[in-house]
């Protein structure tokens, strides 16, 4: 989330002062990311230091108005043109939790997964409802918010699918472990037979 | 959509369904309890083979349980003959399938009017009600189209219109978005949701979380049993926290 | 509020309306499929209707009998050839005695019809005259009719076709056949034994074909020296013109005097059956012959019924998958099973109705066209268009029922609560193979039992009367057995397809895929195999029956030689000289005769002189002095024949009826003929081929060269020998007097014999070598010239040949007559049956192939994806067609041939069992191969991509 570039983009529109920038940002992003005014001013200072914006003086009411410099415009252009950088793989608590659970005896992995799934679905339901309510208003200003919600929905859905996959793999591992325990058979068609019997009916 | 009548539109009580006999018997459903109220949208999730489709078939009287009881609009289905079950389907239950939902030789309007006409409603009245139902699903202008003149999403809307036409308020949808792209699928879910909001009881079988999330309640099936249920919290403050923002 | 599930008052009607609409739309939507169904049902209905109509058309209605025979006259009186006063004619046919005591009254003298004519009528006589006319040096026969043909009273019977009425003098009318035969034009003279006439017009007799040679003379044109002889009353019929009808009582009275009457009023209003019999008469027994006809029609009809049903089933299998889905959808929308049945029944009724209406129309129309064409050409074989209403209705009902039943199949699948499965997969649930296999096996066992029972019962007795009594039961058993057999085979087809396709590992890819596809989609492969099976069963049964019938005709026909073969004598007795003195016989040069005939006829294939023992000559019959030796230098009274061993005599009932026409002792050359007809020939290998129509076997030649005889019929052989006997025609066995008398045997010589049965039973005992003839003093001499023609000669050609021969003979009286054989229609019938069943086979195979190709589109896309050659698609289609039609054809031929053979063996047809191997093998082998080739050729190798597959 680049506040720096967001403010620059807003200034490209027209010269603005700090508070104006904050209000405009929140309007346009659907108040998804609350911005505190201090953050705005710090950012503006840095932008001025880098010669991306310039002070235009006073608007007569004591507000300092900033405008974008040609260097700033170039920066905005390149920001829009560049894809959003993917961070390094985030530390995923769930993944760590499951990986640990598999290795520890006496932990019901399926229960963990199911609990997580219920939570995810619940979240998904909420996002969906929120999206539905927002879409029902049909306000142009909500576009960003809708996009954000969509992104959340797809992320959560991906999480659920990932959970499904984890579960399937857990079940498979548990069964091959059991089979290996019963008799030392190598991987073979026998292993998934019980599971399939349940599934194919 | 009338909201009169009992609140419980569908009730499954300790329902079991076993296929085959003896050693080869396979239990598709075991002791399933599930009720769906008017205005409620319930999604059934589960891996393939978990008994989702069996549940749907039992709810609509297309199949009979081997144990337990099914009630539609408080009427026990156990005592009904085949013809009464047929009447039940055209008066109380609407089916929406993944594919091949429409009779290809009938127009959209005629497809929607089909249950009414089968039930002896005069053609003119049936078609008026069908037009009404098509309006409710947002495609009043497609009444005279044939199946092959409509997109997949439009076909599903017609199918939903047929499922709700008349006095019916139980919609049983079996993977209705399976053959559709995600935007169109979302449109179909919107229609189902709006029907539920208007008072219908909707049971949706799906394996897609994104679609299940439209439901008020999500039921998880595994190995023929309901293992869990999830209901929306409807707590906006939690949203953003969860999103990690 | 509890749910109300009571039926809605108007629900039934309303759902019927929906059903009708759905059915109508469905037909309109799948035009190709609907057309296919209509065609497949239409064709057999049209065939049956057409056949029934043609049969009925060959039977004259009473109105037509009156029109064609009587014209506008009231009645016809003519001689009834009866032996006593207690015979009664058929009221509709004055030439047939319908009831008689069979008593022979030597004192009975029939009256002249003229003497029994009732008073008060104008009488128009018609006299038949036997005339001759010269063609070249020959005299050929033609018929004259002395009648006032253009009398208005004959309107309807005689019609002036062309030219004008004669105005006295030598002007006459003639039949078109006569004009054509003698190459006459109007105004050209023709000289006959009754004088010279000038035909000025042609006339048609509605009762006889235009092709006959008639000359219509006026009474004043007939010379007095042609005046009626003692038998004159037989040749004149009298037509009565007047208002008063001639009653049945009057006819009965006339009959008792030996006079036949065809009366307008009696024909139009025939007397009841009890008045049509003479008291004490023997009931005519033609029931067993009739039964054979009924049996044939019964078997063919029963198999046809099965076939219509199976064809309709195959037709409805096209698109059944889609329909199952549609019906399941309907069920999920709350349609009751009655509604679902109504939808398919409505579709079946719509299609079936159109199909049977079209079929009946096409059948009737085609028959009408045929009748009109035939009548236009002047043939009287078909009397008029007579629709056979009961048969047409039966065929239509059959087609409709088959159509509706076939349409019900998808409905049954849906009503089995397999709605969800059908909806999801769109695949019809697999039919319960095991149950139908068990039922099929039971049906097959039942078929075997029925066939066996029928056969055992049919052959349990040789007594013809007992046989006749049992025949209805036997025929019923056999027909039931045949139907059960086909039905059973159809039911086990599913199992069989599984079986046949289970060992496919070794096959090439296309065959393996085709086999697997058939096994996995038995819903469509079984109906197609069944349709081919039924078609093949019907075809093979019809072929066996028709071939056997042909063989029967061939056997009972009196063969003067091989077909289209004429035999001209090389030794002729000249007419008696002036003082009754006998002239010595004239020997004719064979090569001169051969050249003359070959010059007159363009169709001579070969001529061959045959040699025989000297014929009887200048031998006065009976009364001459028995003291004279039978053979002198100037006369010969010896004739040679083979003795029939007593054990090999054709067994007869005490009444003289054949005990068993199928007995080997009653069949073949020279069994039921008098010894006068037969000839012992002298010659070698070439003569055997020319006379018997087949090549001599090495064994036969060995026997011949060793001084033995090649014999045409095994009945004459006893212990490997035949007895050649010489008989003196002047004497008679003392024991038998009268017409059955046999001349006394003078000498007999045993000869070693080899049997070589001729192509058809020709009147020859067999052949001995010239050396043997010399040894036995048979006095061989050239006896006749065989002339083999390529085809049946026309009358004009026959006349030309007679003229040419007469010029060589120097005698006008010897006419050329080629053996006409039996009608050649049978051969054509057999091949038409093959063609029709081939068409059915092709369409059934085409249906499966097309369906499976459509089903397998994604598979083909996959195959193309892994780099399969486009040819594979074609190969697969070919393999599929071959499998379907091959299995069906083999099973069907089996199921048709066996009952037909048993039926033939159990009825009067058994005298001549013939299996038409060539057409049958074409049916079994060539038709499936052709079908496969067609499927291969007609399948596009490029994969047609559907929009969906691309998108």
Global ipTM: 0.72
**B230: closest CA of chain A, how far (Å):** 6
Contact between B115 and C29 using a beta-carbon 8 Å cutoff = no
pLDDT at residue number A88 = 44
pLDDT digit string (tens) for C407-427?
776 666 665 545 555 555 444
Chains that touch C (3 or more CB pairs under 8 A): B
pLDDT at residue number B202 = 92
Give the pair of three-digit tokens for residue C68.
């064609």
Band (C287; pLDDT cuts 50, 70, 90): low
- Residues C597 and C569: their CA atoms lie apart, in Å, by 13
Least CB–CB distance from B5: residue in C1, C11, C424: C1
Least CB–CB distance from C25: residue in B90, B102, B106: B106
Contact between A122 and B232 using a beta-carbon 8 Å cutoff = yes
Q: Which of A31, A115, A124 to mutate to test the interface with B (most CBs of B within 10 A)?
A: A124
Contact between B115 and C22 using a beta-carbon 8 Å cutoff = no
Q: What is the 3-state secondary structure (H, E, C) of C922-946?
A: HHHHHHHHHHHHHHHHHCCCCCCCC
Give A-chain residues touching B193 at CB under 8 angstroms. Answer: 132
Q: What's the whole-number mean pLDDT along residues C885-892? A: 87
pLDDT at residue number C321 = 67
**B70: closest CA of chain C, how far (Å):** 14
Helix (H) or strand (E) holding C367: helix C337-376
The residue whose two tokens read 């989609």 is C521
CB C87 within 8 A of CB C97: yes
Q: Does residue B234 sit in helix, strand or coil? A: coil
Q: Say what percent of chain C tops pLDDT 90.
A: 1
The pair phi, psi for residue C139, each rounded to 5°, is -110, 125
Whether the per-residue pLDDT at C865 is higher than 70: the answer is no
Range in A125-134, B79-88, C471-480, C649-658 with the lowest mean pLDDT: C649-658
pLDDT at residue number C446 = 92
Q: DSSP readout, C160-219? A: EEEE----STTEEEE-HHHHHHTT--TT--EEETTEEEEEEEEEEETTS-TTS-EEEE-G
Range in B182-186, C484-488, C501-505 with the lowest mean pLDDT: C501-505
pLDDT digit string (tens) for C242-280?
888 888 888 888 888 888 888 888 888 888 877 777 776
Least CB–CB distance from B62: residue in C21, C337, C419: C419
* b/e sequence B86-102, b meaning 16+ C-beta within 10 Å: bbbbbbbbbbbbbbbbb
Chains that touch A (3 or more CB pairs under 8 A): B
Band (C357; pLDDT cuts 50, 70, 90): very high
Q: What's the whole-number mean pLDDT along residues C769-787? A: 85
- Is any Cβ of chain B less than 8 angstroms from the Cβ of A33? yes
Whether the per-residue pLDDT at C291 is higher than 80: the answer is no
pLDDT digit string (tens) for C395-408?
888 888 878 877 77
Contact between C26 and B105 using a beta-carbon 8 Å cutoff = yes
Q: What's the whole-number mean pLDDT along residues C923-940? A: 82
How far CA C13 is from CA of B122, C10, C23, C796, in Å, comes to 10, 6, 15, 73
Whether the per-residue pLDDT at C432 is higher than 60: the answer is no
Least CB–CB distance from A121: residue in B48, B209, B240: B209
Q: What's the whole-number mean pLDDT along residues A130-147? A: 78
The pair phi, psi for residue A23, each rounded to 5°, is -60, -45
Band (C213; pLDDT cuts 50, 70, 90): confident
Q: Does residue B169 sit in helix, strand or coil? A: coil
Collect all residues with Cβ–Cβ distance below 8 Å to C72 and sequence separation of at least 6. C152, C153, C154, C155, C156, C157, C241
Contact between A132 and B193 using a beta-carbon 8 Å cutoff = yes
CB B103 within 8 A of CB C330: yes
pLDDT digit string (tens) for C80-137?
877 677 788 888 888 777 777 766 777 788 888 888 888 888 888 888 888 888 877 7
Q: What's the whole-number mean pLDDT along residues C575-591? A: 69
CB C332 within 8 A of CB B89: yes
- Is any Cβ of chain B less than 8 angstroms from the Cβ of A166? no
Contact between B193 and A33 using a beta-carbon 8 Å cutoff = no
CB C179 within 8 A of CB C796: no
pLDDT at residue number C388 = 79
CB B45 within 8 A of CB B212: yes
- Is any Cβ of chain B less than 8 angstroms from the Cβ of C951? no
Contact between B6 and C326 using a beta-carbon 8 Å cutoff = no
Cα B172 to the center of its chain, rounded Å:
2
Range in C11-20, C65-74, C295-304, C730-739 with the lowest mean pLDDT: C730-739
Whether the per-residue pLDDT at C283 is higher than 60: the answer is no
Least CB–CB distance from A198: residue in B49, B208, B213: B49
Q: What is the CA radius of gyration of chain C?
A: 35
Whether the per-residue pLDDT at C10 is higher than 80: the answer is no
Least CB–CB distance from B118: residue in C15, C423, C426: C15
- Residues A123 and A121: their CA atoms lie apart, in Å, by 5
Q: A24 burial class (0-12, 13-18, 19+ CB within 10 angstroms)? A: middle
pLDDT at residue number B195 = 85
Whether the per-residue pLDDT at C735 is higher than 80: the answer is no
Q: What is the 3-state secondary structure (H, E, C) of C243-299?
A: CCCCCHHHHHHHHHCCEEEEEHHHHHCCCCHHHCCCCCCCCCCCHHHHHHHHHHHHH
Whether the per-residue pLDDT at C506 is higher than 60: the answer is yes
pLDDT digit string (tens) for C821-846?
776 655 666 777 777 777 777 776 77
CB B220 within 8 A of CB B45: yes
Task: Kindly give the parts of chain B with pLDDT less than 70.
Answer: 1-6, 100, 232-245
């Amino acid at each position: 989330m680049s506040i720096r570039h967001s403010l620059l983009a807003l200034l490209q529109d027209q010269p603005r002062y700090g508070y104006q920038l904050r209000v405009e940002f929140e309007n346009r992003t659907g108040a998804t990311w609350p911005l505190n005014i201090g953050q705005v001013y710090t950012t503006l200072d840095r932008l001025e230091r880098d010669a991306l914006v310039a002070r235009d003086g006073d608007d007569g009411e004591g507000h300092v108005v900033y405008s974008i410099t040609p260097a700033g415009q170039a920066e905005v252009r390149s920001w829009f043109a560049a894809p959003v950088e993917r961070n390094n793989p985030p530390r995923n608590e769930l993944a760590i939790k499951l990986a640990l659970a598999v290795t520890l005896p006496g932990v019901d992995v399926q229960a963990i997964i199911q609990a997580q799934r219920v939570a995810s679905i619940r979240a998904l339901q909420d996002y969906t409802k929120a999206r539905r309510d927002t879409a029902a208003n049909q306000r142009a200003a909500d576009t960003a918010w809708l996009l954000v919600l969509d992104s959340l929905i797809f992320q959560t859905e991906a999480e659920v699918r990932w959970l499904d996959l984890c579960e399937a793999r857990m079940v498979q591992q548990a069964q091959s472990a059991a089979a290996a325990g019963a008799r030392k058979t190598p991987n073979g068609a026998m292993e998934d037979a019980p599971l399939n019997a349940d599934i194919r009916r | 959509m009338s909201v009169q009548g009992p609140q419980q539109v569908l009730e499954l009580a300790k329902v079991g369904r076993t296929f085959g006999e003896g050693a080869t018997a396979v239990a598709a459903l075991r002791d399933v309890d599930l009720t769906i109220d008017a205005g409620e949208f319930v999604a059934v999730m589960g891996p393939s083979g978990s008994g989702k489709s069996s549940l749907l078939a039992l709810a609509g009287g297309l199949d009979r349980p081997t144990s337990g009881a099914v009630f539609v609009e408080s009427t026990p289905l156990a005592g009904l003959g085949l013809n009464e079950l047929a009447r039940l389907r055209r008066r109380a239950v609407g089916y929406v399938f993944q594919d091949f939902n429409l009779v290809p030789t009938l127009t959209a309007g005629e497809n929607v009017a089909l249950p009414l006409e089968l039930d002896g409603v005069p053609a003119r009245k049936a078609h008026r009600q069908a037009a009404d139902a098509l309006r409710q699903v947002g495609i009043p202008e497609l009444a005279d189209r044939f199946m092959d003149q409509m997109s997949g999403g439009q076909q599903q809307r017609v199918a939903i219109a047929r499922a709700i036409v008349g006095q019916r308020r139980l919609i049983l949808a079996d993977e209705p978005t399976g053959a559709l792209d995600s935007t169109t699928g979302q449109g179909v879910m919107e229609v189902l949701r709006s029907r539920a909001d208007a008072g219908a009881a909707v049971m949706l079988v799906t394996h897609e979380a994104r679609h299940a999330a439209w439901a008020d309640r999500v039921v998880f099936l595994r190995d023929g049993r309901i293992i869990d249920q999830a209901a929306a919290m409807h707590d906006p403050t939690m949203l953003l926290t969860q999103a990690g923002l | 509020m509890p749910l109300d599930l009571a039926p809605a008052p108007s629900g039934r009607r309303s759902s019927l309306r929906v059903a009708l609409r759905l059915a109508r739309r469905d037909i309109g939507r799948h035009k190709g499929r609907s057309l296919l169904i209509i065609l497949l049902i239409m064709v057999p209905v049209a065939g049956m209707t057409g056949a029934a109509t043609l049969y009925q058309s060959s039977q004259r209605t009473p109105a037509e009998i009156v029109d064609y025979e009587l014209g506008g006259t009231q009645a016809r009186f003519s001689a009834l050839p009866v032996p006593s006063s207690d015979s009664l004619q058929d009221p509709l046919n004055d030439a047939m005695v319908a009831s008689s005591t069979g008593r022979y009254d030597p004192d009975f003298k029939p009256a002249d019809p003229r003497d029994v004519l009732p008073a008060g009528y104008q009488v128009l006589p018609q006299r038949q005259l036997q005339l001759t006319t010269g063609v070249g040096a020959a005299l050929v026969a033609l018929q004259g009719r002395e009648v006032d043909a253009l009398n208005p009273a004959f309107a309807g019977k005689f019609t002036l076709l062309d030219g004008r009425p004669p105005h006295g003098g030598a002007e006459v009318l003639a039949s078109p056949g006569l004009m054509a035969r003698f190459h006459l034009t109007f105004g050209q003279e023709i000289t006959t034994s009754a004088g010279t006439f000038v035909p000025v017009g042609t006339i048609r007799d509605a009762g006889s074909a235009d092709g006959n040679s008639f000359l219509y003379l006026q009474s004043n044109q007939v010379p007095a020296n042609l005046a009626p002889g003692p038998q004159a009353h037989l040749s004149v019929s009298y037509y009565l013109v007047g208002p008063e009808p001639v009653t049945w009582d009057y006819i009965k009275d006339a009959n008792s005097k030996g006079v036949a009457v065809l009366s307008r009023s009696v024909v139009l209003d025939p007397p009841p059956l009890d008045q049509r019999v003479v008291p004490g008469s023997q009931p005519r027994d033609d029931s067993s012959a009739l039964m054979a006809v009924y049996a044939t029609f019964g078997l063919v009809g029963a198999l046809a019924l099965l076939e219509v049903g199976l064809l309709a089933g195959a037709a409805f299998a096209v698109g059944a998958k889609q329909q199952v889905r549609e019906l399941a959808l309907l069920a999920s929308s709350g349609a009751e099973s009655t509604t679902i049945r109504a939808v398919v029944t409505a579709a079946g009724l719509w299609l079936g109705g159109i199909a049977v209406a079209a079929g009946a129309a096409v059948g009737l129309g085609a028959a009408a066209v045929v009748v009109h064409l035939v009548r236009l050409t002047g043939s009287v074989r078909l009397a008029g268009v007579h629709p056979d209403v009961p048969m047409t209705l039966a065929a239509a009902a059959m087609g409709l029922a088959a159509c509706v039943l076939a349409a019900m199949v998808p409905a049954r699948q849906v009503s089995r609560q397999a709605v969800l499965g059908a909806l999801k997969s769109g695949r019809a649930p697999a039919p319960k193979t095991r149950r139908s296999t068990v039922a099929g096996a039971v049906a097959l066992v039942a078929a075997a039992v029925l066939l066996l029972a029928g056969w055992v019962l049919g052959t349990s007795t040789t007594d013809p009367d007992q046989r006749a009594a049992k025949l209805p039961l036997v025929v019923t058993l056999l027909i039931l057995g045949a139907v059960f057999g086909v039905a059973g085979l159809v039911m086990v087809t599913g199992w069989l397809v599984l079986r046949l396709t289970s060992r496919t590992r070794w096959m090439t890819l296309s065959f393996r895929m085709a086999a697997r596809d058939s096994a996995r989609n038995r819903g469509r492969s079984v109906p197609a195999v069944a349709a081919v099976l039924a078609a093949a069963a019907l075809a093979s049964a019809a072929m066996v029956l028709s071939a056997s019938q042909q063989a029967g005709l061939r056997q009972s026909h009196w063969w003067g030689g091989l077909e289209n073969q004429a035999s001209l004598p090389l030794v002729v007795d000249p007419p008696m000289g002036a003082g009754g003195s006998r002239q010595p016989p004239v020997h004719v040069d064979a090569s001169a005769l051969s050249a003359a005939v070959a010059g007159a006829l363009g169709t001579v294939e070969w001529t061959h002189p045959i040699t025989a023992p000297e014929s009887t000559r200048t031998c006065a019959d009976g009364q001459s002095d028995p003291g004279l030796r039978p053979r002198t230098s100037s006369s010969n009274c010896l004739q040679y024949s083979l003795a029939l061993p007593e054990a090999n005599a054709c067994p007869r009932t005490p009444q003289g009826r054949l005990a068993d026409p199928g007995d080997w002792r009653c069949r073949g050359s020279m069994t039921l003929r008098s010894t006068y007809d037969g000839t012992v020939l002298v010659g070698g290998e070439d003569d055997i081929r020319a006379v018997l129509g087949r090549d001599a076997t090495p064994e036969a030649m060995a026997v011949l060269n060793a001084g033995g005889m090649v014999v045409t019929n095994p009945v004459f052989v006893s212990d490997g020998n035949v007895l050649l006997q010489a008989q003196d025609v002047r004497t008679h066995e003392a024991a038998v007097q009268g017409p059955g008398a046999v001349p006394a045997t003078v000498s007999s010589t045993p000869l070693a014999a080899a049997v070589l049965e001729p192509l058809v039973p020709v009147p020859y005992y067999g052949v001995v070598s010239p050396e043997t003839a010399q040894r036995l003093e048979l006095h061989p001499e050239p006896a006749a010239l065989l002339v083999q023609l390529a085809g049946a000669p026309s009358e004009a050609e026959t006349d030309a040949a007679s003229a040419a021969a007469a010029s060589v003979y120097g005698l006008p009286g010897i006419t050329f007559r080629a053996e006409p054989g039996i009608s050649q229609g049978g051969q054509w019938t057999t091949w038409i049956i093959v063609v029709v069943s081939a068409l059915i086979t092709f369409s059934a195979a085409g249906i499966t192939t097309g369906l499976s190709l459509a089903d397998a589109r994604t598979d083909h896309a996959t195959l193309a994806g892994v780099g399969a050659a486009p040819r594979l698609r074609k190969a697969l289609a070919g393999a599929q067609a071959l499998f379907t039609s091959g299995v069906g054809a083999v099973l069907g031929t089996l199921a048709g041939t066996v009952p037909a053979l048993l039926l033939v063996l159990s009825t009067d047809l058994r005298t001549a069992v013939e299996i038409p191997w060539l057409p049958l093998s074409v049916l079994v082998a060539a038709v499936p191969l052709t079908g496969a080739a067609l499927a291969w050729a007609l399948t596009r190798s490029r994969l047609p991509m559907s929009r969906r597959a691309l998108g």
